[in-house]
Amino acid sequence: MRIHDTGDLWWKNAVIYCLDVETFMDWNDDGVGDLPGLVQRLDHLADLGVTCLWLMPFYPTADYDDGYDIADFYGVDPRLGHAGDLVEVIRTAKDRGIRVIVDLVVNHTSEKHPWFQSARKSKDSPYRDFYVWRSDKPPSTKDKVVFPDKETGIWTKDDATGEWYRHTFYHQQPDLNTANPQVRDAIAKVIGYWAELGLSGFRVDAVPFFLADAAKTPGDTVEDKHDFLKELRSFLTRRVGDAILMGEVNLPYAEQKQYFGGDGADSDQLTLQFDFIGMQNLYLALARQDARPIAKALDDRPEIPHDAQWATFVRNHDELTLDKLSKDEKQEVFDAFGPDPDMQLYDRGLRRRLPTMLGGDPRRIRMVYSLLFSLPGTPVLFYGEEIGMGENLAAEGRMAVRTPMQWTSGENGGFSRAPKRKLAGPVTEGGFSPEHVNVADQRRDPDSLLSFVQLLIRRYRECPELGWTTRAEILDQPHPAVLAHRSTWDDGSLVALHNLGAEPAMVPLRFPDYDDTVALVDLLQDGSCTIDARGATEVELDGYGYRWLRVVREGDRRLI
């Protein structure tokens, strides 16, 4: 096994951890998390096994969209610290073996951004064409609204000039016009600026939206919207050779493939893409206690360039979108995990975290995270998942899952010593409150979810075949509730089994390429499975059980 390859393409078997500085750790006790607080908690991430930290927006903001309405692409929100504090985060993380990437939000700016402040004053402003305008009254665009609870269309009239500006998201977030070469140059400069501070790349927000205008100027050098994405990737690679672009592209697989770079051997656009199709089918499978939707999604994944990767996840910072499921399938998931309308959002997703959706059942929670780390790809964790945090439905919309991190059982979960009224968000209450769910208690408990996730991360990092296999091989077996798959790369191979049902199962497997000189050694518990001369074996699974079985041959020198 060419283990050194895993260092060159580090993202193919990384463990990525997403957090919002504002809700992670408040070090000056003003109620808002800050960069000095994050530095103090980097050892928690290192101990967990995280290799890449993804920071949600920390830029100056009007804070209408939780920091995604950016007023200065080159600054740091003064509530969170300053640029020097960010450099200390990057430097200290690097010392702990953790790379840092940040959100690149270039589909739009805040209406408070100086560019838009100038653009809206006059049609002759040098920044006028940085945004998308129309002089005639637009038709109804109610069907194109991303946030139907707040907006009725994607065009808003600006009184100063009497024209309408486009905003795919909130009206406080005017869309940037990437058909304008000056805008594209400005975006590249933003990337270059932050790359110089030592970042290892960017998570690119709403990729299809920000590329939408990129090829709309006749005679422009950009003839296809993907040309602009190629330019950005090439620019970043010149500046930082092993930096990544991890994109949010919630599209069908066939369209996602184009954002990696099509059929070429090497990716020349996005380095990683989130597997939204796989995630949504995971929840459908959990609702049905039937693994076949996951197996189908894995089979449907297109072939991607050898240096590209899928980013797998159970939860992220937005609503748990189910938009790629059919209406009936979406309803199945709603009925199982969010039957109360208050748990749902935009008629397309859920604003809950996994532990509450599964009723706090530790068997199912652990099985799901075992499944996540065993899937081919790079796992992405949202802060608090490692301890089983829940949501607070009293918070508005998506903020239900963006509650303060729960460090201790003390006041405000150890996040801040400020009065509750000053906190960046309400702390989770009830059975998932800090009294019951926190880092400090779980650090001392070898049977805690935190300890289990640490084990999963260690085993995942020891099994590069999970990140480097070209695709999962779905193994034939008779139980619909069971997913059995094999990941192979070079001379390494791992067989994973997960039981999505409550009933135990004895799973027969057949490996025509193995014989009785091969053993399957369990990596998550003591034990192994023998294979007979015909390549047959049986694997016992508890209800909601899981097994990671490394294929071990005579003379194998890999450590178990």
Q: Which residues participate in catalysis according to the annotation?
A: 205, 248
Which residues, 6+ apart, have CB-to-CB distance to 244 below 8 Å? Answer: 11, 101, 200, 201, 202, 271, 272
Tokens encoding 386: 């490692």
Biggest CA–CA distance in the chain, Å, is 81
Identity (one letter) of the amino acid at 60? P
Cα 433 from Cα 448, distance rounded (Å): 16
- Sign for the CA dihedral angle at 436, 438, 441, 444 comes to positive
Strand residue runs (E) in 335-399: 344-345, 349-350, 378-382
Select from 337, 341, 340, 344 the least CA-distant residue to 361.
337
Helix (H) / strand (E) element for 374: namely helix 362-374
Cα 546 from Cα 368, distance rounded (Å): 9
User: Counting every residue, how long is the chain?
Assistant: 560
Q: For residue 405, what is the DSSP state?
A: P
Where would I find the H helices in 398-494? 439-443, 449-462, 465-468
For 245, phi then psi, to 5°, come to: -120, 110
Tokens encoding 483: 């997913």
Residue 556's alpha-carbon distances to 1, 491, 514, in angstroms, are 11, 9, 14
Which residues, 6+ apart, have CB-to-CB distance to 508 below 8 Å? Answer: 477, 478, 536, 537, 538
Question: What is the gyration radius of the CA atoms in the chain, in angstroms?
Answer: 24
Tokens encoding 429: 């209450």
Q: With H, G, I as helix, E, B as strand and everything else as coil, classify residue 331.
A: helix
DSSP symbols for 502-518: SS-EEEEEE-TT--TTE
Where would I find the H helices in 81-206? 83-95, 114-119, 181-196
Q: With H, G, I as helix, E, B as strand and everything else as coil, classify residue 496.
A: strand
Residue 20's alpha-carbon distances to 245, 249, 488, in angstroms, are 19, 21, 35
**How are beta strands 133-134 and 99-104 bridged, if at all?**
unpaired
Tokens encoding 69: 């309405």
Tokens encoding 515: 């014989």
**How are beta strands 201-204 and 99-104 bridged, if at all?**
parallel
Cα 308 from Cα 300, distance rounded (Å): 17
Select from 63, 173, 23, 33 the least CA-distant residue to 111.
173
Q: With H, G, I as helix, E, B as strand and everything else as coil, classify residue 488.
A: strand
